[in-house]
Amino acid sequence: MRHSFVSLLSSSGVPIEDISRLVGHVSTNATEKVYRHELRPLMTRGAATMDQILKQTDDLRWSLGDSNP
């Protein structure tokens, strides 16, 4: 959650100094080196995978005659 918090704030344009203070770092060094990651590609892959899983589940339910989503 901490990595996600930092990465999402960072990708949304929040200044690194503000993010650093929010996570309790004395300086921005740790925030930049350890926590600041671009999560968009990972989130996109995860969302696509979940879409596939849910579609397969929905297709299976439909084939078994359960029309309630």
User: Is a pLDDT exceeding 90 seen at residue 22?
Assistant: yes
**pLDDT score at 43:** 72
Give pTM, 2 decimals.
Answer: 0.51
**All structural domains of the chain with their residue ranges:** 1-38, 40-69
Mean pLDDT of 40-57: 83
Q: Residues near 30 by Cβ (< 8 Å), separated by ≥ 6?
A: 20
**pLDDT score at 21:** 95
**pLDDT score at 18:** 94
Percent of the chain whose predicted confidence (pLDDT) is above 70: 86
